[in-house]
Amino acid sequence: MSRTLLILLISVSILILGVAIAGLIFYSIVINPEIEKPIIEKPPLIEIPQEEIENPNFPRINEGHIDYLLNELGFYSLHKHITTGELPMINTAVININKEYFSVVRDNNIETVESSEGDVDIKIRTNQDVLISLWDSETPAQDANDYYESGDIEMEILKSQEELALKGYLVIYENFFS
């Protein structure tokens, strides 16, 4: 066997091995298929005080409701960016009650605070009635998809597709928008 043929065979073998390793890394990190869903107790809706009973925009949800809903929609499966370590960050704007929530996913747990600050990956816009409907739903992911298709939930992508894929958003996209 000639030396050139031997070098070619070794090069092809290394290339095949590299592609296989890249495929395994992509599958295990980007697709992230085997993450156990954290259990978050469903928080009760905030009671409307008697003096606000006529106000349809009285806030009935808070940070705990956003944590619960994002968890139910699969956002717990997101992970830090595999090269930069940046955590997944989501802004949820509840238009009719003029509130914004900033959520970060850390070690498959969602942490939300009332804030519009932060360098978020995506921004979700909706109204309180939609969120309450999802909170009350037996199939929140399907209902969220229906609300998205009807325009009652809007999603603005603020980072590149590559950044989102490297944080695991591909799973959210496949579950939420398929």
Assess whether 15 and 82 both reside in one domain. Answer: no
Give the pLDDT of residue 16: 78
Assess whether 67 and 10 both reside in one domain. Answer: no
Assess whether 23 and 101 both reside in one domain. Answer: no
Count structural domains, the chain: 2
Q: How far apart are CA 116 and CA 105, in angstroms?
A: 16
Q: How far apart are CA 37 and CA 110, in angstroms?
A: 11
52 located within any domain: no
Give the pLDDT of residue 27: 54
48 located within any domain: no
53 located within any domain: no
Q: How far apart are CA 71 and CA 76, in angstroms?
A: 5
Identify the CA nearest to 84 among candidates 159, 175, 24: 159
Identify the CA nearest to 105 among candidates 118, 121, 89: 89
- Alpha-helix residue ranges (DSSP H) falling in the chain: 3-25, 63-72, 128-136, 140-150, 161-165, 169-177
Residue-by-residue pLDDT tens, the chain, 178 positions: 688 877 877 877 787 766 666 655 555 555 555 788 899 999 999 998 999 888 888 899 999 999 999 999 999 999 999 889 999 999 999 999 999 999 999 999 999 999 878 899 999 999 999 999 999 999 999 999 999 999 999 999 999 999 998 899 987 877 666 5
| Sign of the four-CA dihedral 15, 16, 21, 26 | positive
CB 128 within 8 A of CB 60: yes
Q: What is the pTM of this model?
A: 0.80
**CATH code of the domain containing 99:** 3.30.1050
Identify the CA nearest to 89 among candidates 79, 38, 98, 40: 79
Q: Which domain holds residue 147?
A: 37-43+60-177
Identify the CA nearest to 38 among candidates 66, 64, 77: 77
Assess whether 92 and 8 both reside in one domain. Answer: no
Assess whether 8 and 78 both reside in one domain. Answer: no
Assess whether 67 and 17 both reside in one domain. Answer: no
121 located within any domain: yes
49 located within any domain: no
Assess whether 144 and 68 both reside in one domain. Answer: yes
Assess whether 85 and 159 both reside in one domain. Answer: yes
69 located within any domain: yes
116 located within any domain: yes
- List C-alpha distances in Å: 123 to 46, 77, 109, 131, 145: 24, 18, 19, 15, 16
